[in-house]
Amino acid sequence: MNPKLTLRDKKKEATAYALAVAAFELALEQGMDGFIVDDIVQKAGYSRRTFANYFSCKEEAVAAYFISSAANEDKNMLLAVLPQDATPLEALYNLLKLQFTSEFLHKLRQFVSLANQYPSLEPYILSVFRRLQIAAQEVLEQFSHGRYDDGYTHLLAGAVYGAFVPILDGRLNVMLPGETQDEPSSAMPFDQYLNSMFAYLRNGF
């Protein structure tokens, strides 16, 4: 289990997150070619030296917005409310419901869209999904207390988080929460997709 964060740790996390938010907002407003690191630090209210303590480039800062959003508070809340006899699949389902809010999903889709336009962002898509997957694996390991093989939790988290990539890059026609369509569409509502995906995992393919 992760040690309790000190005040210093919390301040460092807050600084990194503020820089990441500024970078992501600038990317949405101006595109990756429309701003530089100096614009990020000016918007966030920090120095260029502070930026260099956390990120090597603006692309890394943009991606960090999503990595930072995988909040420890959500994990702690999940572990507190789940019954002891819940399965890893049930734990993962509830974690996803906490993590993948409507706002988070829409911004994640915007990030994937940006990466499609700006190749310099493409390598960071994998790092974002990898970090989300690792966070899920850590929760499953904490929850299961060794009742399941490590390989099982890795396989489970990989299958579930991998299923979100084609939603976000548009290969699957899934309507995110809060989206509306003026005309009849074959798009599957997100909750229906999520439940179908977990039904496959419960029942086998």
Q: What DSSP string describes 135-167? A: HHHHHHHHHHTTSS-HHHHHHHHHHHHHTTHHH
pLDDT at 69: 59
Q: What angle do CA 70, 73, 5 make, to 5 degrees?
A: 95
Q: Sketch the domain layout of the chain as residue ranges.
A: 1-64, 69-205
pLDDT tens readout for residues 52-111: 999 999 999 999 998 765 555 556 667 677 787 788 888 888 888 877 888 888 888 899
Q: Residue 205: what pLDDT?
A: 60
CATH class of 1-64: mainly alpha
Residue with tokens 């209210």: 45
Q: How far apart are CA 8 and CA 81, in angstroms?
A: 29
Pairs from 46-51 (Cβ < 8 Å, separation ≥ 24) = 46/15, 46/18, 46/19, 50/15, 50/19, 51/19
d(CA 140, CA 152): 10
- Closest by alpha carbon to 177, among 100, 111, 123, 76? 100
Tokens 């429309």 belong to residue: 34
Q: Write the pLDDT tens digit of every residue in 110-148.
A: 998 999 999 999 888 888 888 888 888 888 887 777 788
Q: Which two tokens mark 73?
A: 């508070």
**Two tokens at 84?**
């002891």
Q: Per-residue pLDDT for 22 more than 50?
A: yes
3-state helix, strand, coil in the chain (%, to 5): 70, 0, 25
What is the separation, in whole angstroms, between the first and last Cα of the chain? 33
Average pLDDT, the chain: 85
